[in-house]
Chain A
Amino acid sequence: ETGVTQTPRHLVMGMTNKKSLKCEQHLGHNAMYWYKQSAKKPLELMFVYNFKEQTENNSVPSRFSPECPNSSHLFLHLHTLQPEDSALYLCASSPPTEPSGYTFGSGTRLTVV
């Protein structure tokens, strides 16, 4: 365990379903991130939160909705997804001063059917 916990580890959902991914860290980090990793594609930054405030939305479709109720928890709400949204979704966090880099969670493997 890295200190960043993601649940669930695997998720299969239909295109009409609504589900949520959860990320939790108790490392004292103030910034949290969602990344998407698809097969044969580079890591794509989706959202950034700093001290619970969203500071970056990287042109992500509205069927992905992030929520950050506090500095330790981050959610990604999913609805009416498409098969091409199937991917590994990674959560990461970083401390107030960046030099140590990011700590990643184990990821959620999402399959949209």
Chain B
Amino acid sequence: ELKVEQNPLFLSMQEGKNYTIYCNYSTTSDRLYWYRQDPGKSLESLFVLLSNGAVKQEGRLMASLDTKARLSTLHITAAVHDLSATYFCAVGVNTPLVFGKGTRLSVIA
């Protein structure tokens, strides 16, 4: 059974600081997805990582995938308040995507 674990589950960080969210999964996969969810809203696709060593960047967020370590990271650079949301990673191996529990990020002044 595929398991996806994110940590931390809660993250409070100051504006301007850097931090990394980790996503580990239990079964070999070369597909990993990151989503963002604002309170009471739906999930918005952020990144699609489809191969080992893939790196994608959008603004202050950068995601990477290491399929050998079964690990993806979502790095936040110089956080701003607008990044406050819950971030989910998801993995699929010829099955419906399995989601992590999400990391609730709060960026404070």
Give me the interface of A with B, judged by CB distance under 8 Å.
Answer: 2, 33, 42-43, 45, 48, 56, 88, 90, 92, 98-107, 109
Contacts and interface: CB of A to CB of B under 8 A. Distances in A.
Nearest to A91: B42
Given A43-B102, A56-B96, 4 more contacts: A42-B101, A101-B48, A102-B97, A105-B42
5 contacts: A99-B31, A101-B90, A101-B97, A103-B45, A104-B35
B40 A109 contact: yes
The 5 closest A-B pairs by CB, nearest first: A42-B101, A43-B99, A104-B43, A101-B33, A104-B42
Contacts of A33: 96
A45 B44 CA distance: 17
Interface in B51-66: none
Contacts, number: 45
Interface of B: 31, 33, 35, 40-45, 48, 50, 88, 90, 92, 96-102
A90 B100 contact: no
A52 B40 CA distance: 29
Contacts of A104: 35, 42-44
A100 B48 contact: yes
A71 B101 CA distance: 29
A45 B50 contact: no
Contacts of B102: 42-43
A23 B45 CA distance: 18
A109 B35 CA distance: 19
B27 to A, nearest CB: 15
B32 to A, nearest CB: 9
Contacts of A56: 96
B96 A45 contact: yes
A91 to B, nearest CB: 9
A56 B97 CA distance: 12
Contacts of B100: 42
